[in-house]
Amino acid sequence: MSEKIGFIGLGAMGGPLARHLARSGADLTVFDLNADNVKAVTAEGAKAATSLVEAVKDCDVVFTCLPASKEVRAVVLGEGGVLANVSKGTLIVDTSTVDPETTDDVAAAALEAGCAFADAPIGRTVDLAEQGQALFMVGATSNDFGRLKPSLEAMGSTIHHCGGPGTGIRTKLVNNFLAIASAQLTAEALALGAGLGLDVDRAMNVVLDTTATNGHLARLWPAKVLAGDIEPGFTIELAFKDMCLVTDAARQAGVPVVMGGAARESLNLARKLDDFGSKDFSALLDVACAHAGLETIRSKA
């Protein structure tokens, strides 16, 4: 008999994941504070819960996909939360991007309660999650990874077992450090090109043919900011949150991340400019242009 699954948090990323899981035929019950988010998943075959307690009752596996560390602690560890309402042996899987201390605390609390825990933060963008192309970085024991893998395969296309509990979120921070810091560098480089009077399409053709290329130039930005679309996606506000997690984790580990600190402060400036905090993080290019007094850069291709 298939395992009964609960899913809490059906926002921009959790919603697509839960919809794919429902389409796979999983015995799935979902809960979110936003009723419209719940309806979008129940339309695919999931059952709706009216409360967190109802969502996790008698579940074998519980997924959480929440905004930040505060929400994960409240939902999993809080009074009336997940751990207070599941049976021993339940596998709790957090897909949120949080600080490693939160992951470690949740893992320890789950173990003490007789439950299993895995951290499986998500890679790639919301549009790819919608297409079933999400990537998961999983921290779990070998047994729990095997138990979890079929559900992850239903939700995404790429799954990496990074090691034991806690390794998934740490891998995610390393990944986001590179992704977000390189976005800031890319924005400044393209703004410099515009300031020097270059045609953006011709300059990109050169850069894409050298080792200077990156995923923002090659894939994401041509479909987003360079095409005039800066609606999220992944917001500058969330990028700032993640870079704060990166630099905090680096400080605690005693690892200097000079470029990370610069990227974090650049994001802090960006989120305070007009309403850019709510825009796609590719809009860092528009922010760089604004700081330089340049017109926004758009591709003519």
How large a percentage of the chain has pLDDT more than 70? 100
Say whether 172 is catalytic: yes
Residue 213 confidence (pLDDT) above 60: yes
Query: How far is residue 64's CA from residue 183's CA, in Å, rounded to a whole number?
Result: 28
pLDDT at 79: 92
Q: What's the first-to-final CA gap in the chain, in angstroms?
A: 53
What is the pTM for the complete model shown?
0.93
Beta 61-64 vs 47-48: how paired, if at all? Answer: unpaired
**What tokens appear for 145 in the block?**
């990874």
Mean pLDDT, rounded, for 165-194: 96
pLDDT band, residue 177 (cuts 50/70/90): very high
Query: How far is residue 218's CA from residue 205's CA, in Å, rounded to a whole number?
Result: 10
pLDDT at 207: 96
For the chain, give the longest Cα–Cα distance: 65
**What tokens appear for 88 in the block?**
């021993």
pLDDT at 233: 87
Per-residue pLDDT tens over the stretch 179-192: 999 999 999 999 99
Mean pLDDT, rounded, for 270-277: 94
Residue 292 confidence (pLDDT) above 50: yes
Q: Print the SS3 string covering the chain.
A: CCCEEEEECCCCCHHHHHHHHHHCCCEEEEECCCHHHHHHHHCCCCEECCCHHHHHCCCCEEEECCCCHHHHHHHHHCCCCCCCCCCCCCEEEECCCCCHHHHHHHHHHHHHCCCEEEECCEECCHHHHHCCCEEEEEECCHHHHHHHHHHHHHHEEEEEEEECCCHHHHHHHHHHHHHHHHHHHHHHHHHHHHHCCCCHHHHHHHHCCCCCCCHHHHHHHHHCHHHCCCCCCCEHHHHHHHHHHHHHHHHHHCCCCHHHHHHHHHHHHHHCCCCHHHCEHHHHHHHHHHHHCCCCCCCCC
pLDDT band, residue 260 (cuts 50/70/90): very high
Backbone angles phi, psi at 32, to 5 degrees: -155, 150
**What tokens appear for 293 in the block?**
């007094």
Catalytic residue among 4, 57, 88, 172: 172
- The CATH code of the domain at 170-292 is 1.10.1040.10
pLDDT at 2: 82
Domain 4-165 has CATH 3.40.50.720: yes
Residue 258 confidence (pLDDT) above 50: yes
pLDDT band, residue 1 (cuts 50/70/90): very low
Per-residue pLDDT tens over the stretch 27-75: 999 999 999 999 999 999 999 999 999 999 999 999 999 999 999 999 9
Mean pLDDT, rounded, for 180-206: 96
Question: Across the chain, what does the average pLDDT equal?
Answer: 96
Mean pLDDT, rounded, for 198-225: 94
**What tokens appear for 296 in the block?**
């926004």
**Is residue 120 a contact partner of residue 139, using CB atoms and an 8 Å limit?**
yes
How large a percentage of the chain has pLDDT more than 90? 96
pLDDT band, residue 240 (cuts 50/70/90): very high
Q: Where are the domains of the chain?
A: 4-165, 170-292
